[in-house]
Amino acid sequence: MVLLSASAMADTTTGEHGWIDQLLAELGASETVDTSKLIDWGVLPGPFVNPEQGFGIGVAAIGLYTPTGWQQDDPLSTLKLTSYASTSGSFGLGVENRTYLAGDSLRLLANAGISFSPSYYWGIGKQAAENEQAKTAYDAQILRFEPKLAVEIFPNGYLIGGWSYQQLSSIDADPGAFTEADQADSQASGLLIGLEYDSRDFEPNPASGHLLTLEWIGYDKTLGSDHDYQRLTANARTYWQLDSQSLLAIDAFGQFLDGDIPWYGYSEMGNASRMRGYYEGQYRDRTQLAAQIEWRRQLSGRHGMVAWAGAGNIAPSASKLFSDSWLPTVGVGYRFAFKARVNIRVDLGVGKDSTGFYFQVNEAF
């Protein structure tokens, strides 16, 4: 969904609201990208409430930039820096970069983050997830790093290679929930390979196009991992423009794991992008399927809204994913165009027995 930007809103604001536009301009809100700058930054603080962290305050810095050799038809590269702290005691820093080079024939992608996260653990499987007596509090420091290189091998088609690394340390849990080995510092390190077809017009906020991704990661002790296991992830997304002010976005996701999986390595259901409304990690198992459909509507000025519905399930094997009822997710959200093609989103997601309120940058998918 492409929302109108700062100047469009300024034309319709009254004098009493002029200070809002002035404040947004100071924070970096703009209609266009200043390509003369090394990075055109915008900074936005805001509150959030979600099932994992409770109430918190976050700050996001969004940078749009044009690397050497950029042409007018090339996508804008993006850099997002985030920080947060919440009432649960969690805090963290995150970095997400997308650099598009040589006419988008080469992509440098990276996600990294460090956090301290008081959380809950129910165990493995759906039965454990729905047993409140199995709920156990634990603390852990988490470090994640995943760099990727994508090379175009046919129009809109990419071969991806990279590395996936995750480290858990300072694990402190209620007695009896974890084994001694589970509470020891642990890391997962693996090589990543993938294939992707991506015809989306702008990754952070697509208005058209399709995405098909197949990605495999092999975590191996020879690469420094404490466990040998594999993870296969498939994702399909499509975007249909219904009219000049609305579109339909569809997302289907599958994840399948095998091997000696650590307790933190299982496929986890629920986050700010998919199965919104569920506590991330409450439902975890070897396999997961989820799908969602979202209607996105431009309103007036910078403002927009969305509504979605979806469902998902976890199971110990793919053959059992359809053996019981799936978990639902529905919700509505508000959108605010902060920079060119960059939306701030506020989503309220409702799950089976839980809700989540999310304050994020860019669309959910």
Non-local CB neighbours of 324 within 8 Å, separated by 6+ positions:
126, 313
Letter for the amino acid at 305? Answer: M
Determine what percent of the chain falls in helix, strand and coil, rounding each to the nearest 5. 10, 55, 35
Token reading at 12:
């319709």
Best CA proximity match to 196, nearest among 233, 156, 231, 230: 156
Q: Write out pLDDT tens, residues 10-31.
A: 444 444 457 766 766 667 666 6
Best CA proximity match to 77, nearest among 209, 204, 208: 204
Q: Write out pLDDT tens, residues 207-248.
A: 999 999 999 999 999 999 999 999 999 999 999 999 999 999
Q: Write out pLDDT tens, residues 257-268.
A: 999 999 999 999
Centre a 10 Å sphere on the Cβ of residue 232 and count the other Cβ atoms it contains.
Answer: 16
The CATH number corresponding to 42-297+308-330+352-361 among 2.40.160.50, 3.30.413.10, 3.40.50.150, 1.10.3720.10 equals 2.40.160.50
Best CA proximity match to 80, nearest among 238, 203, 231, 237: 203
Find residue 361's DSSP bridge partners: 344
SS3 52: coil
* pLDDT for the residue numbered 4: 37
How does DSSP classify residue 76? P
Mean pLDDT for 299-322 is 96
Which helix (H) or strand (E) element contains residue 25? helix 18-27
> Do the beta carbons of residue 80 and residue 59 sit within 8 Å?
no
Q: What are phi and psi of 362, to 5 degrees?
A: 75, 165
Residue with tokens 């997400």: 96
- Mean pLDDT, rounded, of the chain: 90
Q: Write out pLDDT tens, residues 37-52.
A: 889 998 888 777 766 7
Centre a 10 Å sphere on the Cβ of residue 241 and count the other Cβ atoms it contains.
Answer: 13
Instruction: Measure the CA–CA gap between 359 and 207, rounded to whole angstroms.
Output: 21
Mean pLDDT for 272-279 is 95
